[in-house]
Amino acid sequence: MPGSGTEFRSDLDPTPLFDPRTYLDGVPHDLIAELRARAPVHWVPEPELMGWEAGPGFWAVLTHELMNRVLRDPGTFSSHLGATQIRDPQTAEMLEFVQRMMLNQDPPQHTRLRRLLMRSFTPSAVLELEATISARAERLVSAVEDRGRADFAKDVSAELPLLTLADIMGVPTQDRMLLFDWSNRVIGYQDAEYAASDVFDPATGTEMARRSREVRAEIRPGPDGRMPDPRSREGLADMYAYAQDLATYKRANPGSDVVSILLAAPDDEGGITNEEFETMFFLFAVAGNETLRNGMPGGMWALLRHPDQLGKLLADPALLPGAIEEMLRFIPPVVHFRRTATRDVELGGCRVGAGDKVVVFHVAANRDPAVFAEPDRFDIERSPNDHLTFGAGPHFCLGAHLARRQMTAMFTESLSRLHNLRLDPARPPERLLSNFQHGFKHLPVIWDVTRAERVAA
């Protein structure tokens, strides 16, 4: 327990909330429900595990009300002091580096960068993005339509956010799989399959991509034989090299993409520096990709696990917007986010000390029975549905609209083209080894191929 103490002590061990291996079997909702029934906030230890050194522990916030309170009060619960991941950066230099990211800043610094970014999403830029999303979703689904089986996470849905991000960032289409590799290495660095992700073919990429690959080849293990932490500049040096090259190119050759607009902001409006752009590029490449990439397979898994709800949706496609909101509530792709207390404060009956880590759990708030009737029931007609999947307060997800738009396009195409879609009983889903992103690396599905398609095959 921290020196600040608490009035509440529990004999129920909350440590599994911290252990990434817990989430290989799914979110521990039973444990969360029992903890929340005893108290809204719990102290969670950070034991040494999976190569991580032991940490000081943190306060886990498990209710909708208190999550809202924490996220809407950056003056008391800072994103900047310790950044937004549970585990502290390994060195002061690493902390200083990640603190430059918009995700890890508080007002007014965060406000300036967010305002610049919001201005860059001009109506014309957004319309241009939206115009391509449906066509791309149609192409991705039609490419597998006559197979009768596919890995929905890898073969169907993964490329849509990559293509959309490439448009936003002005990244050439042939370099888009670099975004895939970078986000894998950051989000899944505890997962053997993701940590060494290397699907990009340098022979197909641009000169910027080839230079980035040369930088990656120079990343060497440390004295302990482990690769540098991907949250450090050294651990993702290839991505930052690409970001610098892209910024230089876009300043000289601006287009209509969001990044070109962002980089063109005049200095008297607080224009963005190349250093700031590097960290914003990280935010796009990782957060902008991984959240949706996990959200779509998670939503599909939830839908296919509840055939009664799938039947309702197939009978009435107008229910899709509500179904997407329920997918986002039921299986949010982000497990948690961290804040750091700036002062001593009472939270849920606990005395939180200045400097303590305070971690809000999306997966807990979204199933709070004080807000959601029968919270463990998947109901595509749930209304109201005040989930916190996109957060709240100053850091509310800027990409929420585009995420919903892409999910709408992908589910529209999948459910209309893949007849009798269902989980593949011969190949179980595989989840990501992570306590931060709740995602499916693989989601095998099968469907019935029509008679005409069988003849053509």
Q: Mind listing the pLDDT tens digit for each residue in 98-109?
A: 898 899 999 999
**312, 319 contact by CB (below 8 A):** yes
pLDDT at residue 457 above 80?
A: no
Segment 371-395, tens digit of pLDDT:
999 999 999 999 999 999 999 999 9
pLDDT of residue 454: 43
Give the pLDDT band (50/70/90) at residue 3: very low
Among residues 270, 305, 307, 299, the alpha carbon closest in space to that of 389 is found at: 299
Q: Are 89 and 231 in contact (CB under 8 A)?
A: yes
Residue from 406, 454, 373 nearest 134 by CA: 406
Tokens representing 286 are 């990782």
Range of weakest confidence among 167-176, 193-202, 245-254: 193-202
Distances (CA, A) of 321 to 250, 297, 382, 439: 36, 16, 11, 21
Q: Kindly state the average pLDDT of the residues 411-429.
A: 97
Per-residue pLDDT reduced to its tens digit, 172-231: 889 988 888 888 888 777 787 877 778 888 888 999 999 999 998 888 776 666 667 777
pLDDT tens digits, one per residue of 285-335: 877 777 888 899 999 999 999 999 999 999 999 999 999 999 999 999 999
For residue 30, the model assigns a pLDDT of 97
Burial per residue of 337-371, b for 16 or more beta-carbon CB atoms within 10 angstroms, e otherwise: bbbbbbeebebbebebeebbbbbbbbbbbbbbeeb
Domains along the chain? 15-170+255-430 (1.10.630.10)
